[in-house]
Amino acid sequence: MKITGVDAVRVLQTLTDYVDIHKKDNNNKFWSYKLKSAKRTEFAFDPKTKEGLYVRVDREPPSLPGITDIERILGKATSTALDRVFSGGIHKATYKVTIETESALRAFIAHYLSIEITQ
């Protein structure tokens, strides 16, 4: 079943052992989340979308079923709201992806949680 920003907020509220809400843009255009992993990966999306889940993430996204339309956006014109919800430094909107289902969202998070410290 297709997932939306509204659905993603609900799913992420059940995963508080793994992910925290990091920052909400003043205009509620983007909310960012930070994983409780060694690398503290950040991702953001519009929590109000009812047509799909379009995520910006600071690390290369995994190639998994249900994660599509992967696009590198670093250096391209993006919403200034993204600058407000990402921490900065290595944590900036680098990729844009579409996440199609709840299971794909859970797999997306599980992928980043499994990354070991390599730096």
User: Model confidence over 48-72: pLDDT tens digits?
Assistant: 999 999 999 999 999 999 999 999 9
Is the pLDDT reported for residue 88 higher than 70?
yes
- Provide the pLDDT for residue 30: 94
Tell which residue, 93, 7, 84, has the closest CA to residue 56.
93
**Pairwise CA distance, residues 59 & 73, whole Å:** 11
Phi, psi of 79 (to 5 degrees): -60, 135
Give the start-to-end residue ranges of the domains of the chain.
5-113
Average pLDDT over the chain, rounded to an integer: 91
52, burial (CB in 10 Å: exposed 0-12, middle 13-18, buried 19+): middle
Q: For position 116, what pLDDT does the model report?
A: 59
Tokens 């696009």 belong to 71
Is the model more confident about 118 or about 23? 23
pLDDT for 1 beyond 90? no
